[in-house]
Amino acid sequence: MGYRCSFIFSAGNSGWSEQWYYAGSGSPADIPGRIITPAFLKGFLSLRASGVYLDALRVNDVDVPRNSFLQTLEIDSGDYSGGVTSTGEEPAVCALGYVLTNARRRRPVMVRGLVDAGVSRDADDNVVWTGAMQTVLKSYSQAIIAAALCVRTLDPPDATNTDRLLKSMAPAAQDSGATTFTYTNGVELIEGADVIIHGLSRKYYPGYQGPLPGYNVTPTTVDVPVAWKSASLQIPIRNGHIRNAQYSLDPVYSISWETMRVKKVGRPSLLPRGRRSGIAYRAR
């Protein structure tokens, strides 16, 4: 199907990754050479501060995640941006926006490690887009598009993967940690493939949201690995549906940038009992 590309960054005590997908074929070891070019690095890193390092690119097969390859890079963003050197911590600014795909779907995107000094603020301390920042964000967008990177999107129901109406749910007969769903007798679900259930209340039925592995599939039933928590042996369901969770890799058409955020905490700090605080961002 394709590959998940995790760009691994570090700056001082902070580390993070930014994930994109690549709809290509071949070995995972072949993918970094197709993406990491001088033109890509210039657009991908020119908006980040000096001291923000692109440490590595990890490539995982989407269908077989263990089939992976790690390309070590150790590239300082300052070689492409000439930005202000960071002072032992991650630069405080991140940019947020939306990806528009070729199929006209929207997905959020966040880019971290931008130079705080490159952000202009008005009298009320609100972020004001500067021409220089707009230029580097545009270069970033062009680099992503030129590299043919994609986002992973959940496919809507279609003729071969319809929404089957759920009739009831009950504890699985063979597994105390699973639930059996009974659905209308339509196209049988795929054994071993993930399923997605919607139409159930998150309040009354927690744990059934999101893609879940489906097994013990029959033309009318499927088991999911969520422990049954109701005292009733079986209950009817209203307006619940189930289908296989199938995904596509959708190429990026454009990226629109909407806002920026800055960190509440300049860097992770040690709290009582030695716990390390996370980095939080606040809207600006």
The residues, ordered by sequence, that sit 6+ positions from 80 with a Cβ below 8 Å of its Cβ are: 41, 42, 45, 46
What's the confidence (pLDDT) of residue 271? Answer: 44
- 137 with 259, same domain: the answer is yes
Give the CATH number, domain containing residue 240: 2.40.30
DSSP string for residues in 200-249: S-TTTSTT--S-EE-BS--SSEEEES-----SSS-EE-SS-EEEE--EEE
Same domain? For 196 and 236 the reply is: yes
If asked whether residues 19 and 73 sit together in one domain, one would say: yes
Domain count, the chain: 2
Is residue 227 domain-resident? yes
The per-residue pLDDT for 55 is: 95
For residues 120 and 104, state if they share a domain: yes
Same domain (yes/no): 121, 175: no
Whether residue 273 sits in one domain with residue 217: no
Q: Does 115 fall in a domain?
A: yes
Same domain, 149 and 209: no
What is the signed CA dihedral for 204, 209, 214, 219, rounded to 10 degrees?
60
Report pLDDT for 11. Answer: 87
Q: Is residue 276 part of a domain?
A: yes
Do 173 and 148 fall into the same domain?
Answer: no
Picking from 90, 159, 114, 122, the residue whose alpha carbon sits closest to that of residue 257 is 114
Whether 61 and 119 share a structural domain: yes
pLDDT in tens, 188-222: 899 989 999 998 888 888 888 889 999 999 999 99
Same domain for 130 and 10, yes or no, is yes
Let me know if residue 159 belongs to a domain: no
Same domain, 27 and 55: yes
Question: Which pLDDT belongs to residue 268?
Answer: 47
89 is a domain residue: yes
Q: What is the value of pTM for the model shown?
A: 0.79
**DSSP SS3 for 189:** coil
Q: Residue 216: which domain range?
A: 164-245
- Tell me, what's the pLDDT at 130? 74
pLDDT score at 275: 43
Which residue, 227, 279, 271, is CA-closest to 11?
279
Q: In which residue ranges of the chain is pLDDT below 50?
A: 265-278, 281, 283-284
Same domain, 11 and 148: yes
